[in-house]
Structure formats: C-alpha cells, structure tokens
Structure 1
C-alpha cells in the first residue's frame, strides 16, 4: 500500500511539473516531499497509529495554510479544486480507529481531517462530497472494524469463561464421585478384608500345626498390608491434595531413601516365597531418589512381578535397578514360561496394569516401555527422574 501511494505521488508531481512548464517553481517537489514523509509514516500505523494520524493532520493543516500564505508551495492547485489533505490521510484515519480504538485524540484528529477535506466554509457540493467520501468513509469503516473486533474478542472471552466454568463443574462432579467411591470401597472391601485378617489371626492362635500357624501369620500380614494400601487409596480418592504425601512412602510410612532397596528386595522375596525364580541386581546409590520416584519404582516392579506370576509360570526373572545421579533405570525381564498357564489366575484383574504404569511413570516425567523378547519372554524397561519434573501433577492423576 505504501509503495502504491509513493508511485501515485511521483506521477502527480511529474504531471504538475509538466503543467507548470516554463514557470520557475519548487512547489511540486516540496509538496511531493511532504506527501512522501506522511506516506512513509504509514509503516508505523499498527504500532503508533495516533502518531501517524497526527502527522497526517499536521500535513493537512500546512497544506491548507499554504494556499493562503504561500500559494504554489505545497498545493499546486490553488483554485479550490484540489484536496487539501495528504493521500495517506484516509489510511491513517482508518488505522488509528482500528488499532487505537475510539480514543479522544483519535476522534479529534479524525474530525479535523474530515473538516479540512470537506471545507464546509466554501459551501461547495463537489468539494464537500469528495471530502466526506475521502475521509469520513474510511473513518466510519475503521470504527466498524474496531467494534467488530471488540465484539469477537468479547464473545471469545465469554466462551473461554464458560469452558472454564464447565471444567470446574466437571471437576466438582468428579470430586463428589470420588468421595462416593471412597465410601463404597471403605464399606464393602475394608469390612471383608478385616474379617479375613481376624480369621487368619484366630487360626494362628488355635492351630496345632506349626506350618498352619506360619501360613496363617503370612495371610494375616498380607491382609494387614492390603488394608494399609487400601487406606492410602481411599485417602487419595477422598482428598487428591494429600496424594503427594501418600505416594511418598513405599509401605505407607516415611522411610529413608536407603529403604528403597529394601522395598525391592521385599518384593523379590515375596515372589521367591511362592516359587518364582527372581534375581535382583542393584548398582549405585539410591539416597538421592525422591519419595515420589521411589514409590513409582516400587509399584512398577510390583506390577511387573505380579504379571510374571500370572502370565509366565515357571519362568525366571531378573530385576535390575541402576541408581544414577539424576535418575533411576529399571529393568524387569523374564524368560519364556515353562509350566502350564493357570487360565483362571491369568484372567483375573482389569487388564490395564501396564497402561496404568505408563500413566504413573509419565506423570513424574519418566519413560516406560514394554514388550515381548526374542526368546519368548517379556520385558519392562523404565527410566524415572530422581525428582519429579515440572509436569508432575501428583499420583491422583494416574
């Protein structure tokens, strides 16, 4: 647009020079210089629209005064037929009203340009009509565009606010459902598990056989652990804000970081006690591991060993944990199964354990991969940061 105006100005100046041939005058070139300055100022119409409009108004005033004070200097046509405003003035008025809005200064300067262009003191229909078309129409168009943009912005903000309110309502509904589920879980599951623990404790006291008493004690301890973890889960469902504290311990307490290795060792011993050949390999120092990463690592190995017991009977397993400065790398690999599959045991569960692990690992900023091995076995590989990344939202998101 600026280039087109410059070409028009040069053509106009050459035409005026041709018309005034034989007369010694610098008017066309001085007027051309003023017009080009105002035209080049349009390049800042988006960032400084009021300043550009002010420059156009000042140029229009100078051009009008030159008609009376210095005829032929800025206006070569002094017979009243020419327009006494720069060619860039309509674009300056439009830009000011679009980008600066209905500011008092914008309206005052635009009114001044319209007055100079229409020249109401001459009472000429042609001059007044051309001046209004040249200046008033772009000004009105700028006001319309500004109003339309403001309306679109208001509607967009209203839609975003409605979306946020809908999100908050959905969060409130989820919180209420979470509390209801927590109550159901506490009333149904906890009651039955508590009965199981009490019966196992009674059997341990009344049984005559030492092996029966030992098995009853193991059953009672497993029930107590299940109650403890169930209590943690119910706490997460009832109060998501407390989930970070709950996720901090491997067994519900506030362990030191050196007990991370004990937690993995305990999982390995549990699997060995039921006949699974499991070996644990550890390297590095786990003291720099956060409680969140420790709990995630514990759950990952726990789920992987559970899947081995359910889907790969008779296989041998290697659990490897490598503690580095800023992360921990975990591998759980098992060979191909060598015993018949217990279909009833394999079909138990929801079938979403690995998917849940992936979500849990990604929440703390880690990576999680799993899949079959060439020898017919299965592997689970994961890398966990020692400290949760900025995207960590708490374990209630898993």
Structure 2
C-alpha cells in the first residue's frame, strides 16, 4: 500500500492532469446519451477545465455539471467534486454541490416527459455516488491534517527532550558549582588563612617562605575556583546573581523567536521593579508557547500598557488556521502565572475571545518587589 502510494506520488502533476482529462473525455464521449453540437461543446469545456481543478475547484465543478445532464455517472463531475472536497472545509458548500450533482445526473436530457420513479432512482444513485466522492476527498484532507499535526507533535517532543536534557545538565552544573563554592573554596580559604598565620608567627626563614608560597598558591587557586564557579553557573542557566533574570528589554527578542506570527506594541516606564518585569516576561513566554501548541497558524498580539500605578500585558491570538488535535497537558502553566500574580498583588485573566481566539491579561503593580 505504501509502496503504491509512493509510486503514485512520484508521477508529475501535469501527467496526472492530462491523463484525467483524457479519461473524462473518453467517458463523456462513450456514455453521452445524445451527441448534439451543444452537448459536445459543453462536455469538451468541462473535461478541459479539469486541468485547472487545483486552482479553482468550485469553478471547475460548476463547469463540469452540464456533463452530468448527458450521462448517468460522469467521471469529470466526480473528479471535480473530489478535488473540491479535498481542499474545502465548508461542509454546507459541499452538501449543496452533492445535491447539484445528483439533480443534474437525474434530470433527463434533452428535457422530455419525466418518469418520476426512474428519476427518483437516478437521483438517489447520483446522490450516493457524489457523496462517496466527497467523503473520499474529506478523508484525504483529514489524513493530510493528521500527518501535519503528527509532524508538529514530533517536533514539539524533540524540542521538549532537548529542553529536558539542557535542564538536567544545568542542574548538574549548578550542583557542581555549589559544591565547589561551599566545600572546595571553603577548604582552600582555610589553607590560605592558616598559611598566612604561620608566615607571621614562624621565625624560621625557610618555613616563612614555604608559608608565603602556600598562601600565594591558595589565593591564586581561590581566584581560579571563583572563575570556574561563575562559568558553571552561567552556562548552567541557574537563576543566580551571576545570571540575571530576563527583563522587559528581552521581550522583543522573545516575541521574534517564539515561532509564532506575533507583534509587540506599547511600552512601560523605565522604573518597573525587577519582579514585575520577570512576571511580565514569563506571562508573555507562557502565552506564546500555548499559542504555538494549541492554535497552529494563529497570529498573536502582545500589548504592554499602564493604568496609573498598575501596568500589565495583554496577549491575544486569533483563531487557529489549521485543525489541532486534543493533546494532554499539565495545565500548570496558567496556574503558575496566577500564583506569581497573586504574590505580586496582581491579577491574571485568561479565556477565549468572542472571535474564537484566546486572551491572557496580567495586571500587577509596577513597583512590586
């Protein structure tokens, strides 16, 4: 099955279009009830239009409808209807097109005395045939959506695995830095102090020189240890005084690298406290992450604002442009943001918008510390 599909996908699109036009033309010529001049022209136009079905599927379907008047089951109509169903998400439009196809295939041509029983039979037969074509098209569309979503899920999992590995490495480096600072540095400091005391107390010149050398080496070792601790903490990403927390100045970089079409507007005064800046940054970070996960293809707007002594940020996203699958989540992101807002005597509001999108709004005192 997969091998046959792979072979089929390697066929060039123009070759497939030419083959479909040829099959539809042969079908129309062999099964046409009456070959009138008008009927042949309409059939030729409908069959030739199939070459453009990917660009304008609805227009091509309408052009093929006259062929359904001239034969029971028209390949051209079914192919156009399949392409429309494969590319359209409007279920009402597809239902109308199925009905039109069934009516056209059950209407006698040229118009003559109508046999109601046979007309009803042909209508039901045409309805079932057209519905099957639409169902196959919708199935193919759903398969493509699922494959795209699975790819996105795999990319997200790979990203999470990378972040987890980085977090583990960061914890190990931070632990090593603490051990070096709390244990090794402390012991070396004691050696330096004892060597200094020995250098002052001893009367022996050789002992004094040895004590001076030990003290000098200890001080040099302490400097090197401090440099190593600084590097370990910085590369480990641990939140210490050596690695400053993100601020409002980092927001633009965060928005631009979020993987979502987002824009940043508004500004806050320069005197915003550090805890407030961290809360604003983390709120934007979590909201944009949720947009990427749960609203694929949506656009986001990040707006900074000030209201008296309070300020905040509002993140609003449009509805997703692609269907998303229901994925399990920890549901802890917004909970953590609300807890952070409560600590700073602020509020966090989150919920869907009337347009089908989602909005997150944080309000905190700008002087929060």
How high is the TM-score relative to the length of structure 1? 0.44
Q: Which has the larger radius of gyration?
A: 1
How high is the TM-score relative to the length of structure 2? 0.47
